Structure 1
Amino acid sequence: MVWLPSIPSDLDLPSGCRQLTGTSPGAGGTSLLNRWQSPELSTPDCLLVLASTRSAEVQGISAAGCTAAARRTTALADAELLIHGPGVPPRWPLPPLPAGVSPALISRVVAETIPLNLQVAALGLPIEPPFPHLRFEAPSLGPAHCLSGGAAMDLERAGQLIQRGKRLGRRLRRPLVLAECVPGGTTTALAVLTGLGLPVAQLVSGSALHPPMELKQALVAEGLSGIQPVPTDPEVLLAAVGDPFQALAMGVLLGAVESDQPILLAGGSQMVAVLALALAALPPVHRQPLCNRVMLGTTAWLAAESLESAIGPSSLEALLLRLEHHFGVALEAYAAGLRFSNSRHQQLRDFESGHVKEGVGAGGLALLAALRGVDHGTLLQGCDDAMDRLLQATGLRPPAP
């Protein structure tokens, strides 16, 4: 029997949103949910981190683009959609998907609806982004190697990204929404979580309707077998089987311990992996203080997915509970209430069938919009209208007369 916490009565959870873990009181004993809802909250920064790894080029590993070649430009295409909007013909078109559309569409609609200070960082992309972006390392370093070799990154590279992330975390002056686009990132997430000793083999999802669990597990087993014994130092583990996003984001969380700003991790298992790396790097006494700063927000579709069993908590809920148990912490995590059952577009209704679940910060940003008073109907209408503009801009539908 798995214990599932009840929602405390003092939480003002927007309609349709759902709590995924028990509530950890934030700084001053106030729920982080309440901090993000406060009218006094400063306009948040939103940092979208793009990163690349050769793990994404393994045949069948990811649905974030139907081919390895398409997945090399997925991050660029998603970022362009978020930055420029669906009505602007992109330099890099969205990669073909089996069904649905990029969750970056949701993130863009939220960015059009509530105030955000949006910035994009690029790490190891095979192609230089055609838009302004932050650099934390030389672009010539390129993508991380496939994790199956047990040598994804040089230890020096991982260490420098962690240190630069720490500086960013210490200098936060506004609330931060952290988002990512890393094709193949759920597999590197599975690798570091497994390497840290969490029993999560059947709990880490992927971008496909039916994630290739055996393939992901085989890659992870191969990568970890090459570094026996598995290192206890999370930085060494990350360099062996992780990716550049994880290194930078781990540093941001470690630096945020010294900041008074709340952080919203906008995503699913990739954000759980980043948090686990940061917790593993901290002395036990400092772990709950970090969780008092950090809240996870994801989509309703990912929060409902059950990979291990048809009963009990969803896979993400079980993953979060195991992280809490492993590190002895309490974490706040919530699912947004946005649904697409009543959308005018099949591409959006495909989310309801599990063809698209999360990415580019969609869930966390949809949750934030709800916390800032935007009702789900307004967000759904915005996504339908954005889909109209996207179809017109890509020539798949002529403009209305």
Structure 2
Amino acid sequence: MHEFYGNSKSVGIALNKDEGVRFLNSIAGKEFRFILITSYTETAEIDGITVAGANKDLIKFTPPADAEFLYLGRCRCIDSVPATPDGKPTPAVITRAMLKLADIPLSIVDSGSIVKPMVPHYTMATTHGRSIIHGYAMSREEVEGIYRHSIELGRILARSADCLIIGESIPAGTTTALAVMLAMGIDARFKVSSSMPSNPHELKLRVVEEGMRNAGVEFGSLKDDPLNAIAMLGDPMMPCAAGLAVGAMDHASVMLAGGTQMTAVLAVINALSNRLDNIAIATTSYIVNDQSADIRYLVSNAAGADAHVPLIYADPTLTLSSKNGLRAYAEGFVKEGVGAGGACIAALARNRFRLDADDILHAIEMEYEYAIEIPMKGVRNTLDG
């Protein structure tokens, strides 16, 4: 059952209502900082796993291009804004619109991208994740280093805000999330989301099961060793997001902004620090309403029986958009990414929830026009000329 927050019809609480209300009340009118983690796993190169890129060769450019677009409003490492093969734009369009609307500062943290973002950023990892199908994604030492250094960075960044929004851009992140959660004893089979309307659950599970066999890992065998689960079956985004959150919670609230990838991060935080009193999962209504996944189950099980982490969501009302590329989000494409849901919630909270759905949709459509339609019109005019 969904519960809207106060009089707002743009923000809802899908799990743990009382805690969700408390969390949203605590961040109303406060100062925010948005953090985007860029990362990469070779798992993304398996056919059919992801559509995060116009083609297979461009997938590795998606994370840095997302970061560049958020920072500059254009991309440097590629010629255009990242999109799916059939032209659905990156959710960075939504995120950038919200950060501009509420004047929320941005930090980029690279944790294992192949292509490095050509904008100012922090570096937590210099090497990317290998395919989990081999059962050896990273070394334990690499994972520990990322986690440790990210804790320190989280402490620093949290001193400049009341709430950190931690988003991610990593293709194939739901597959690595599935693997880590299974290794930690969370039955995430057929429960993680996908950027595609037809969720390739069977393919993801085959990849994960082969990786677990090669790693010698069984269901739940790494419940108490999440960093080893990440080293064998995860990606470099996970220890970075977990470390940032753990470090930040001494000074600020934390929104883990994303879809089912962030439930794996929540499980890691729970296992390592057991500090879940000032944290929420923030996503879009498209993830909460995804009939091919179950984010409520994943949040509940990642947090554990004694924790009541709220699952909050934003409804950008893209079903009402005049833009085909944006309406596609409400039709099952992309759904979330680049912290879009968390950015929407932060923009609303920054303005004490006085903005309405029309304000949100208008800002997103304007960003879409500047980023997608006007550049495409220029290309057409060039070709016509």
Is 1:293–2:285 an aligned residue pair?
Answer: no
Distance 1:107 1:270 in 2: 17
Q: Report the equivalent of 2:153.
A: 168
Q: Report the equivalent of 2:242.
A: 250
Cα displacement (A) at 1:200: 1.3
- 1:322 is paired with a residue whose SS is helix
Q: Report the equivalent of 2:103.
A: 115
- From 166, 191, 195, the counterpart of 1:178: 166
Cα displacement (A) at 1:13: 5.8
Q: Report the equivalent of 1:35.
A: 26
Is 1:15–2:2 an aligned residue pair?
Answer: no
Taking a change above 3 Å as real, the CA distance of residues 398 and 298 of structure 1, as seen in their structure-2 partners, is farther
Cα displacement (A) at 1:393: 2.2
- From 321, 324, 327, the counterpart of 1:349: 327
- 1:20 is paired with a residue whose SS is strand
Distance 1:90 1:212 in 2: 32
Bigger mean CA offset, 352-361 vs 161-170: 161-170
Q: Report the equivalent of 2:133.
A: 148
Q: Report the equivalent of 1:234.
A: 226
Taking a change above 3 Å as real, the CA distance of residues 222 and 90 of structure 1, as seen in their structure-2 partners, is same
The answer on whether the counterparts of 2:69 and 2:75 sit within 8 Å (CA) in structure 1 is no
Is 1:338–2:316 an aligned residue pair?
Answer: yes
Distance 1:20 1:194 in 2: 23
Where does 1:94-109 land on structure 2 (aligned, <5 Å)? 94-97=81-84, 98-109=86-97
Distance 2:285 2:379 in 1: 28
Cα displacement (A) at 1:67: 2.7
Distance 1:302 1:89 in 2: 27
Normalised to the residue count of structure 1, the TM-score between the two structures is: 0.86
Distance 2:91 2:343 in 1: 11
Cα displacement (A) at 1:358: 0.2
Distance 1:89 1:101 in 2: 13
Letter in 2 for 1:377: D
Q: Report the equivalent of 2:186.
A: 198
Q: Report the equivalent of 1:266.
A: 257
Q: How big is each residue's C-alpha offset from its partner over 1:332-378, in whole Å with a ceiling of 9 and x where there is no partner?
A: 11110211122121111111111120000101111222223322211
Q: Report the equivalent of 2:69.
A: 81
Cα displacement (A) at 1:66: 4.1
Bigger mean CA offset, 15-24 vs 338-347: 15-24
Is 1:320–2:290 an aligned residue pair?
Answer: no
- 2:320 is paired with a residue whose SS is coil
Distance 1:200 1:89 in 2: 35
The answer on whether the counterparts of 2:98 and 2:364 sit within 8 Å (CA) in structure 1 is no
Cα displacement (A) at 1:158: 0.3
Distance 2:359 2:245 in 1: 32
The answer on whether the counterparts of 1:151 and 1:241 sit within 8 Å (CA) in structure 2 is yes
Letter in 1 for 2:143: A
- 1:122 is paired with a residue whose SS is strand
Cα displacement (A) at 1:114: 0.3
Q: Report the equivalent of 1:311.
A: none
Distance 1:191 1:375 in 2: 38
Distance 1:156 1:79 in 2: 27
Percentage identity across paired residues of the two chains: 27
Taking a change above 3 Å as real, the CA distance of residues 182 and 327 of structure 1, as seen in their structure-2 partners, is farther
- 1:72 is paired with a residue whose SS is helix
Is 1:377–2:358 an aligned residue pair?
Answer: yes
Distance 1:253 1:383 in 2: 28
Where does 1:54-69 land on structure 2 (aligned, <5 Å)? 54-69=42-57
Q: How big is each residue's C-alpha offset from its partner over 1:101-144, in whole Å with a ceiling of 9 and x where there is no partner?
A: 1110000100110021201111222223221111123x3x2x21
Distance 1:305 1:109 in 2: 24
Q: How big is each residue's C-alpha offset from its partner over 1:364-397, in whole Å with a ceiling of 9 and x where there is no partner?
A: 1112222233222112112222222122124356
Q: How big is each residue's C-alpha offset from its partner over 1:146-175, in whole Å with a ceiling of 9 and x where there is no partner?
A: 011111001110000010112123342122
RMSD: 2.1
Q: How big is each residue's C-alpha offset from its partner over 1:73-95, in whole Å with a ceiling of 9 and x where there is no partner?
A: 0112212221112xx46441234
Letter in 1 for 2:152: R
Distance 1:223 1:89 in 2: 34
Q: Report the equivalent of 1:312.
A: none
Distance 2:331 2:144 in 1: 40
- 1:136 is paired with a residue whose SS is strand
- 2:319 is paired with a residue whose SS is coil
Taking a change above 3 Å as real, the CA distance of residues 95 and 255 of structure 1, as seen in their structure-2 partners, is closer
Distance 1:223 1:91 in 2: 32
The answer on whether the counterparts of 2:112 and 2:124 sit within 8 Å (CA) in structure 1 is no
Q: Report the equivalent of 2:209.
A: 221
Letter in 2 for 1:304: N
- 1:176 is paired with a residue whose SS is strand
